[in-house]
Structure 1
Amino acid sequence: MLVITRKKGESLLIGENIEITISKIDDGSVKIAIEAPREITILRKELYTEVESENIEAIKIDMNILKKFKK
């Protein structure tokens, strides 16, 4: 993991086409602006984790239900 210190208005680049700019710093929170191509998906990690766990739950199957269809 890379840790970088930035001040309001400063940026960092990821690759050649993603720029992250610090736009506001308040008590305990930071607002960032992300400039990236439209084809790149940007998600908050907590949302990604929630969707991932819901997808795992959705594919769990009770095999007994399938056996009943076989009859």
Structure 2
Amino acid sequence: MLVLSRKKDESIMIGDNVEIKILAVDGEQIKIGIVAPKSVKIHRSEVFAAIQEQNKEALSVSKSLIKQISKKKL
């Protein structure tokens, strides 16, 4: 892990096209802005974890259920 110190109005570059800007510091809370191409997906870590869990659950659907669903579409 890389640890950097930044102050308000300073930023960090990730690669050539992602910039993390420090917008405000208020006690223990920091407000950041992210400038990135629309093709870069950005999620809070708890949202990302929920998406990953939902994807795992979707993969565990039984073959019989898939067959039932496909028969109903025909």
Structure number having the greater helix percentage: 2
Q: How many residues align?
A: 65
Task: State the identity as a percent.
Answer: 40
Q: TM-score, normalised by structure 2?
A: 0.76
For residues 1-71 of structure 1, the aligned pairs below 5 Å read 1-61=1-61, 66=64
Structure 2 unaligned runs (5+)?
68-74
Q: TM-score, normalised by structure 1?
A: 0.79
| 1: CA distance, partners of 2:28 / 2:49 | 23
Taking a change above 3 Å as real, the CA distance of residues 60 and 27 of structure 1, as seen in their structure-2 partners, is: same
Structure 1 unaligned runs (5+)?
none
